Structure 1
Amino acid sequence: MRASFAGLVALLAVAAAIPTSARADDCDNAPGGQAGLNECYGKAFKASDAELNKLYKEIEARLKDNPDSTKLLVTAQRAWVAFRDAECNFQTSAVSGGSAAPMIRSMCLDGRTRARIEDFKTYLSCEEGDLSCPVPAAN
């Protein structure tokens, strides 16, 4: 019993440390036990990923006249996806193979993706003439 309790404490510590917006979607009350939680948090991540892709396309559109910046965006995004995935692999390694592993992984992926969404929103809201912003202001 002690090992199970220690595992639960570790799982809760990992879950609490991972930033996520899925809690706002009320996944903690999802029906269906662990399978329901896994599904709910997976859907939350998919929704965040769809939002990220939409914003990415907006940035690409604004950079259409600047192929060098577009290439830098593609390189940065590929590196970010690799980082996100590797970081979440590390963060969720304590629960690897467990029934909660899909939920914990989705929570991590969602949290990292939500942070990237905020970065993209910042890029898309730059003022005209902001030299520190890599994305031109909307016309």
Structure 2
Amino acid sequence: MKAPLPLLGALLFLCAGASYAADCSKAATQAEMNACASQTLTQNDSDLNATYLAYREKLSKAQQNQLREVQLAWLKYRDLSCRFESSASAGGSAATLALQTCLADKTRQRADELKALAGCQEGDLNCVR
């Protein structure tokens, strides 16, 4: 079955836009900056998930449950905090950029926190192994 010509054109346009947005050093329009912020958030979220899962594997069942509770609370904190921090731009053209930048930054910070916990030294009283 052949795809309708307008559908193919739309798909090609979307693919071309996505590949251009990948070069965030040249993002000039609000849409391009939003796409780059989204891309950064997606990457940071992926890194956080991988770090979380790797760290979780090292923990006892009880610690895994605690970590899950902490992570769920952290997600709620991150989302509420970023909504507040970006509220000055609410309704404006930069609102998405402000929110996604905040989310990406806090997500990167959380991944770094979990990496530090996963790599802490034996004997460290704040070390959960």
Letter matched to residue 30 of structure 2: Q
Residues 1:34 and 2:30 aligned together: yes
Give me the whole-angstrom Cα distance separating, in 2, the residues matched to 1:29 and 1:91: 26
Greater gyration radius? 2
Letter matched to residue 30 of structure 1: A
1:112 to 91, 96, 106: 106
Letter matched to residue 33 of structure 2: L
Q: 1:49 to 1:99 in 2, by over 3 A?
A: same
Uncovered stretches (5+) of structure 2, i.e. residues with no partner: 1-21
If asked which structure has higher relative contact order (CA below 8 Å, sep 6+), I would say: 1
Instruction: State the Cα RMSD in Å.
Output: 1.7
Q: TM-score by structure 2 length?
A: 0.77
1:9-61 alpha-carbon deviations (Å, 9 max, x no partner)? xxxxxxxxxxxxxxxx9846314x00000000110011000000000001111
How many aligned positions are there? 108
- Give 2:120's aligned residue: 126
Uncovered stretches (5+) of structure 1, i.e. residues with no partner: 1-24
Give me the whole-angstrom Cα distance separating, in 2, the residues matched to 1:27 and 1:111: 16
Identity of aligned residues (%): 36
